[in-house]
Chains A and B, each alone.
Chain A
Amino acid sequence: MSYTVPFVLTLFGAAGLTGFLGALLGIGGGIFIVPVMVLMFKLPIKIAVAASIVSVIATSNAGGSSYVDQRIANLRLAMFLEVATTIGALSGSVLALYLREWVMLLLFACLLLYMSYSAFVTRNVDDKRIAADDYANAKQDRLSAYLDLRGDYYDQAAKRQVKYVVNGAKAGMGISYAAGMASGLLGVGGGVLKVSAMNRYMNLPMKAAVGTSKIMIGVTAAVSSLLFFLAGLIHFYVVAPVALGTTFGATVGTLVMNRLKSAMLKWIFAVLMLYLAYGMLAKGLALGLNIHLPVIS
């Protein structure tokens, strides 16, 4: 591989866009950057995936620090749910040795389809609840109350302080476990599932879910990155422009996110999850049942 200014700038640009979207949505963004590296630059898929996972840490640092500073990220909730995601990621990589990949792909496709539908139909609920200060009113389950899970942040779109109490700790743990498993097993989809679960089942305003997920994904990605690093798959020349790009993009993204209406974020989410679900469905059907759906890439 020869290292040229166009190569570096294109990777930086694509990574910048990934970092920007990732900051808006609280996700890593591997689904955006890996195809660029593989299709445009013909980089080996393993090197592309390894670089993308390291860039998830970069986007989590850049986005997470801003969300921590603004109190959009809930650190206690993040640490509590990290128990579930890290166990999920571990069991995912163990299960990968025994399970058929296509079964898992179909299962996660169904889960994503449902979450996409659910984000779409509830897209206007968040802004109304913020206006009515309704997130502060939920009744906490025993675990959430025991762990004192609550928070508040300033919403720049609604121009008010948004208070919330967390509930549904068990459902949230369950889906965070599944999200960790998706990252360990399939390498994608963890952030998307976590944000949706926190918003849908744990009474978290969309933006708090995005910020909390943003800080959480760094830990899961660090573990995978460490393993890729030891295996010699993290190619410095590829990682460097990608990490610089995602850091820049995520920094810009955090400035924009809090100004958007939650309905807008949920719209983007619903579309993204539909796209991810379709990709998994197509891959699962092709692998398991030899049915080939048209591929969007």
Chain B
Amino acid sequence: MVKLTFRSNEWEVKPGMTVESALKKLDIDPEAVLPTIKDTLITTDYILKEGDVVKLVAVVSGGVNEM
């Protein structure tokens, strides 16, 4: 199986599908996350392999931008 994590959430999906398909299946907006494996960015056409652990990094985070 393939593990996906996002903040404190964790899911498992079957290998063989693309990251994009996995995100769609989990109802996660691809625009809102960046997928990484072992701290390296991957694109959403990457085909997931058995044992992959994909960490989804939130695009929106804190900040104190005001003008």
Partners in one complex: no
